[in-house]
Amino acid sequence: MLRSLSVSRNALRKMKKIAVAQPIIEEQEISNVLKALHDGAISGFYGVYIELFEKNFAEYCGCSHAVAVSSGTAALHIALAAIGVKQGDEVIVATMTNMATFFAVHYLGAVPVPIDIEADTLNINPLLIEDKITTKTKAVIVVHLFGHPVDMDPVNKIACKHNLFVIEDCAEAHGAQYKGKKVGGLGSIGCFSFYANKIITTGEGGMCTTNDPVIANKISSLKSLAFGKSNKFMHSDIGFNYRMTNIQAAIGCAQLEKISDIIDMKRSMAHKYNALLHDCDYLQLPDEKPYARNVYWMYHVVLRGNVSERRSEIMRSLALEGIETRETFIPYNLQENLPLNPSIKKDDCPVANDVAYKGFYLPSGPIIKDDDIAYIADKLKKIISSTVA
């Protein structure tokens, strides 16, 4: 029996799923990939697109160098390796992040030191960094979370005073600006991800940006097995294979051409949500500090007041209305299955802990329709009201 013939309009509406993110893939991406394939240039060694993507991305970020790699995680790992982070070193990291940021530190046998966040931007709280610096501290990793840039001046001041490297995790913040400057060139190395849900994508992929030619050369060498110069197989170091392929870079070149449009669409999406949700007392909305140009990678909200402990229920109700959502990250200090340093206590980062089980993000794709934003905001407010009642 064809039941679909009698499906109600309401049920049809619910069958429609509004995804948290969707990439924009157009003719240019397809024709670039076809060219890479026709040229037979499919690896990370040959073809025109890798160098072009690196050159254009560096220019976009206002940096002198960019080195394409295979993922954002690889970018972080290789950045730390390039500055010489090793077993026993300590690396200060914003606790609220995708755990890839912390894993990169673990890969090198170094010790991550989690730092709590600011309640409004959800980024690392620069005021808490200095207390955690020891003689073993080598670097600070800041994360421009959900597209809002970190307050970099105080971070750089502390890093300069203690002779530390600053790594920017820009995985979620391509094109975000701090005091008019794009992220990626605000510290020693910027690390980007081009995973499918990022501001621009290559499917999987990453990039390291820097203004330091020595670091750029080191990363270029390390990403490709540190092959020797005069004799290729007399290796200069213990390298990785973190090469981006020409096919991925072909997509990246096309994506980069539309990055400004994508960011405009993201900002417009966030402004529409803001206008519809600002009067809901039970939601903390994303912030944009006077120093910041937020690119709103994801529109992240935090439940407040009486509904703050009811996230699962609210997310489930939204799912029943066809609205996909995703929980916020669990901070490093609350991870239960990782080999945490015994000196790290669960309640070390109370601000992050307060957001961890109350935050989630709403559908935030750049081509989300105005109708869908209105529908989501309406459903969210109604679900919250019925949860409070």
Ligand X SMILES: Cc1ncc(COP(=O)(O)O)c(C=O)c1O
Q: How far is CA 73 from CA 19, 50, 76, 119, 381, in A?
A: 24, 19, 5, 26, 36
The phi, psi pair for 165, rounded to 5°, reads: -80, 150
Two tokens, residue 156:
């750089």
Quick one: which of 90, 169, 321, 348 contacts ligand X (CB under 6 A)? 169
Going residue by residue from 183 to 212, which x/- string records binding to ligand X, judged by CB under 6 A?
Answer: ----------x-x----------x------
186 or 277, CB closer to ligand X?
186
Alpha helices in the chain (DSSP H): 9-15, 27-38, 49-61, 72-82, 100-107, 152-162, 213-222, 246-257, 259-277, 311-320, 350-356, 370-388
DSSP state of 291: T
Question: Alpha-carbon distance 75 to 14, whole Å?
Answer: 39
Question: Which of 171, 216, 323, 373 lies at the binding interface for ligand X (CB under 6 A)?
Answer: 171
Interacting stretch for ligand X, rule CB under 6 A, among 21-29, 50-58, 93-101, 130-138? 93-101
Contacts for 232-236 with beta carbons within 8 Å, 24 or more apart? none
φ, ψ dihedrals at 121, nearest 5°: -85, -20
Q: Segment near ligand X (CB under 6 A), from 6-14, 71-79, 159-167, 269-277?
A: 71-79
Instruction: Report the residue from 101, 137, 221, 317 that binds ligand X according to the rule CB under 6 A.
Output: 101
Binding-site residue total for ligand X (CB under 6 A)? Answer: 14
Task: Among 73, 221, 248, 328, indicate the residue that binds ligand X (CB under 6 A).
Answer: 73
Residue whose pair of structure tokens reads 């229920």 in the numeric block: 313
Give the nearer residue to ligand X in terms of CB position, either 173 or 307. Answer: 173
Q: Which is nearer to ligand X, 71 or 156 (CB)?
A: 71
Residue 147 engages ligand X in binding (rule: CB under 6 A): no
Q: Given the rule CB under 6 A, which of 52-60, 167-175, 226-234, 379-387 is the region that contacts ligand X? A: 167-175
Q: Which of 32, 95, 98, 221 binds ligand X (CB under 6 A)?
A: 98
Contact status: 71 vs ligand X (CB under 6 A): yes
Kind of pairing between the strands at 299-303 and 359-362: antiparallel
CA distance readout (Å), 84 to 102, 198, 226: 16, 28, 15
What is the Rg, in whole angstroms, of the alpha carbon atoms belonging to the chain? 22
Residue showing the smallest CB distance to ligand X in the complex: 72
Q: Tell me whether residue 21 or residue 113 sits nearer to ligand X (CB atom).
A: 21
The residues of the shown chain that bind ligand X, judged by CB under 6 A, are: 71-73, 97-98, 100-101, 143, 169, 171-172, 193, 195, 206
